[in-house]
């Protein structure tokens, strides 16, 4: 089967969405399928075409950006060409170009699946408001023409206004989660670099420095946590400088983080490779996900931590709360409430034995192979419906 994956940003850009598509694409290739990723050439230094881990990546030149969106005048030409070349079209929303691709999928009788990763809520401002409106319109057009829609959990589908609008088309498929294997020596080396004595309670956060991630909620919770655990340390893994579209947010929260860093309780690690992330998680006592709105729909990093026996504290948001509810490995804090977050962190750090799960079962349930098999079954079902033989 030839599968076309379509999304705005792909590697080397890092986000939960790009990681999801990368893992799924590789798993589909391992199952014998031919996968093409159609995406933007958001950085002109990136090659127009290349092969990464058996996946063909085609990048469409970008004319300019509007907020986090990319304007690609030749996208229509490329979409027509690649939809015709493939058996199945798989769109990843939010995405401005999804509508045109979905129309082509329906017109050319190619089963078209739309995975809805999250709602769009850009920061306030006239340009962002226009961008929000345009993406919302395009997402709705894409849903009308797509044959099936997918979300990670029923919880998120039940609470997203977009998902509820098309509930008859929606199904759920758990996201793909995997990490490279690392040795005990590599884990110990990471500990020696960031927590030399190995005695400090370590709170981990893994995310871009972005407004929806709720970094300031963690920052405001830390004084209360430090009253109970004076040696507590936050290790923050992820881009935190020059994050696209988040400059104003960074100016607001970085001084708070730098103050904690000067006191020895906060450390920015920057963007870590998958191998480094695999050494990062075992060195945590708890992972925190203080997300603020429905632009976060699950939080793959929670599963990555739980696969290493590390519990999580997550916001009480649809979808985001599901990893904790599904595994029992952690606590749920009220959205945007730093007191609630502090209490949850203290509870987990004080009673780690209460949050032991089954890392092996979690890894099996969320393996890319499982996700790819679920999509393969859906694709085959739609092929039989849309393009029946004889």
Per-residue pLDDT tens listing for the chain (390 residues): 999 999 999 999 888 889 999 999 999 999 999 999 999 999 999 999 999 999 999 999 998 877 677 889 999 999 999 999 999 999 999 888 999 999 999 999 999 999 999 877 666 666 666 767 777 888 899 999 999 999 999 999 999 988 889 989 999 999 999 999 999 999 999 999 999 888 899 999 999 898 889 999 999 999 999 999 999 999 999 988 888 778 888 899 999 999 999 999 999 999 999 999 999 999 999 999 999 988 888 999 999 999 999 999 999 999 999 999 999 999 999 999 999 999 999 999 999 999 989 999 999 999 999 999 999 999 999 999 998 875
At 126 the pLDDT is 63
Sequence-distant (≥ 6) Cβ neighbours of residue 83 within 8 angstroms: 4, 89, 101, 104, 105, 108, 110
Instruction: Report how far residue 110's alpha carbon sits from residue 79's, in angstroms, rounded to the nearest whole number.
Output: 12
Domain 2-176+367-386 carries which CATH code? 3.40.50.2000
At 122 the pLDDT is 60
Instruction: Report how far residue 117's alpha carbon sits from residue 184's, in angstroms, rounded to the nearest whole number.
Output: 34
At 243 the pLDDT is 80
Supply the DSSP string of 85-126, one letter for each residue.
H-SEEEEEES-TTHHHHHHHHHHTT--EEEEE-----PPSSH
Same fold yes or no, 2-176+367-386 and 184-365: yes
- Pairing assessment for the beta strands 330-333 and 69-71 based on DSSP bridges: unpaired
Could you please state the CATH topology (level 3) that the domain comprising 184-365 is classified under: Rossmann fold (3.40.50)
The closest of 72, 103, 104, 99 to 86, measured between CA atoms, is 104
Burial of 336 (0-12, 13-18, 19+ CB in 10 A): middle
Instruction: Report how far residue 288's alpha carbon sits from residue 312's, in angstroms, rounded to the nearest whole number.
Output: 6
Task: Tell me the whole-structure pTM to 2 decimals.
Answer: 0.87
The closest of 161, 154, 153 to 121, measured between CA atoms, is 161
Per domain, the residue ranges of the chain are 2-176+367-386, 184-365
Can you point out the beta strands (E) in 7-54? 34-41, 49-52
């Amino acid at each position: 089967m030839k599968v076309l994956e379509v999304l705005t940003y792909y590697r080397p850009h890092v986000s939960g969405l790009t990681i999801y598509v990368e893992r799924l694409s590789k798993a589909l290739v391992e199952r014998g399928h031919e996968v093409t990723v159609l995406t933007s050439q958001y950085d002109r230094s990136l090659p127009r075409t290349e092969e990464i881990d058996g996946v063909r990546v085609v990048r469409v030149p970008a004319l300019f950006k509007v907020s986090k969106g990319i304007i690609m005048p030749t996208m229509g030409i490329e979409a027509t060409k690649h939809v015709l070349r493939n058996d199945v079209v798989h769109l990843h929303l939010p995405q401005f170009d999804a509508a045109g691709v979905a129309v082509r999928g329906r017109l050319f009788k190619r089963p078209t699946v739309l995975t809805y990763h999250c709602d769009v809520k850009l920061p306030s401002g006239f340009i962002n408001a226009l961008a929000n409106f345009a993406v919302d319109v395009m997402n709705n057009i894409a849903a009308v023409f797509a044959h099936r829609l997918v979300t990670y959990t029923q919880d998120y589908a039940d609470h997203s206004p977009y998902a509820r609008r098309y509930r008859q088309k929606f199904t759920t498929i758990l996201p793909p989660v995997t990490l490279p294997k690392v040795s005990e020596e590599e884990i110990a080396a990471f500990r020696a670099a960031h927590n030399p004595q190995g005695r400090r309670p370590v709170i981990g956060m893994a995310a871009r420095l972005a407004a929806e991630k709720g970094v300031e909620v963690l920052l405001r919770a830390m004084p209360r946590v430090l009253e109970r655990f004076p040696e507590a340390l936050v290790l923050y893994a992820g881009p935190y400088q020059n994050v696209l579209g988040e400059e104003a947010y960074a100016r607001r929260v970085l001084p708070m983080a730098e103050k904690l860093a000067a006191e020895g309780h906060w450390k920015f690690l920057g963007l870590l490779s998958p191998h480094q992330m695999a050494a990062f998680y075992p060195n945590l006592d708890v992972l925190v996900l203080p997300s603020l709105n429905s632009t976060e729909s699950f939080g793959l990093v929670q599963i990555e931590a739980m696969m290493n026996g590390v519990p999580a504290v997550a916001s009480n948001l649809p979808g985001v709360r599901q990893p904790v509810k599904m595994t029992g490995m952690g606590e749920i804090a009220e959205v945007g409430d730093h007191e609630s977050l502090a209490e949850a962190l203290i509870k987990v750090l004080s009673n780690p034995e209460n949050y032991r799960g089954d890392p092996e079962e979690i890894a099996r349930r969320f393996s890319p192979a499982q996700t790819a098999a679920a999509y393969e079954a859906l694709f085959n079902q739609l092929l039989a419906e849309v393009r029946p033989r004889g």
